[in-house]
Structure 1
């Protein structure tokens, strides 16, 4: 079974406060293409302008650190076909990881249920986040990737620190934010995939995140 874990990208959508929504347009319409191709043959070529932090996206170390690997330098082995583990968040905003879990080499996905608010104003405020101490533990234990179905893996006070980003990306652990559909996954026993295009000089980009459950 394949489980979709990404939000659709649509024209003008708001992913994060202050980041402009994507703009979709047309480079070559089907009507105009008829003058270029043989009779009965037509094509559509679209154009999209978007901030890299749109929809469900990946953070590489370059997002936080100038000397970290960017989208073109993070190997696929850190992004695809990873054994997955879902952590279910509790009632509070801060998610603390059970330190008895085996997370080494795994994509650790934090299920908070906040994705139910995606596309509404409620999504942008008071969101769940990963406890800084748990971020450090995940780094120390060698997690392969960490994801969350929330606005941000960190709490987001204005001009605040971003400890989870700083700790995990410093350790070379990619992050995926704004996931969805984690409720459909078992706690473990699945493979996680989230690969962006190989764009040099960029630290973040949307991904088509999904899981394969046997």
Structure 2
């Protein structure tokens, strides 16, 4: 499974296979111990400031309340005139203290060649608007929250510079209501790394 063009897919293997484990345990008792050789930016993942800034807070520094049980809002951007999503998209929405999930519908192209090219992204002024409005977390169902062709990466720079977690490669945002749900994107508490996969999910109020 390739998440990002040019980056390697994870390799999953046995460190200890069931056959090899037979000599270590009692007759009839076997175990498997798996091994994963994987980039941290694989699948749906969360970014910490250390991803962009040397010496900044890393994945292990996120307190649980920063990545779990967040009040959520979905911003719909499936009908758009271009790839860049600017600050107008967020006008009239209460995003303060919330997980702001941008629904572009680009996840429909996941695991196809198209997913890696021409993807929607947030512009610099959109990122600035989200910081000014006090967003708690920003996620998107796209290849990158920035234009992959823009080497300055303004959305990453601005959001992570403000300490706002970013979650990329989300999916199924169309199944969520606009509001009335809690969002979770909890990584393993790993030090010295700027990104890590998450099992992102939402709990919808009934």
TM range (shorter): over 0.9
The corresponding residue for 2:56 is: 68
Tell me the number of residue pairs that the alignment of Structure 1 and Structure 2 aligns: 201
Q: Give me the TM-score of the superposition, normalised by structure 1.
A: 0.91
Deviations 1:172-197 (A, max 9, x none): 00000001111110001100001111
Residue 67 of structure 1 and its aligned partner are, at CA, apart by 2.5
**After superposition, where does 1:25-44 map in structure 2 within 5 Å?**
25-44=13-32
Any stretches of 5+ residues in structure 2 without a counterpart? none
The corresponding residue for 2:84 is: 94
- Selected match of 2:188 from 178, 197, 203: 197
Q: Give me the TM-score of the superposition, normalised by structure 2.
A: 0.94
1:132 aligns with 2:120: no
- Selected match of 1:173 from 132, 153, 164: 164
- Selected match of 2:139 from 143, 147, 164: 147
The corresponding residue for 1:10 is: none
Structure ranking higher on relative contact order (CA contacts 8 Å, 6+ apart): 1
1:211 is paired with a residue whose SS is strand
Distance across 1 between alignment mates of 2:112 and 2:29:
41
Comparing both structures, which one devotes a greater share of its residues to helix? 2
2:90 is paired with a residue whose SS is coil
Distance across 2 between alignment mates of 1:27 and 1:84:
40
1:79 aligns with 2:70: no
The corresponding residue for 1:114 is: 106
Deviates more, 1:145-154 or 1:66-75: 66-75
Any stretches of 5+ residues in structure 1 without a counterpart? 1-12
The corresponding residue for 1:3 is: none
Distance across 1 between alignment mates of 2:182 and 2:27:
45
Deviations 1:46-68 (A, max 9, x none): 10001111110010001001131
2:180 is paired with a residue whose SS is strand
Distance across 2 between alignment mates of 1:42 and 1:199:
29
Q: Which runs of 4+ in 1 moved over 4 A?
A: none
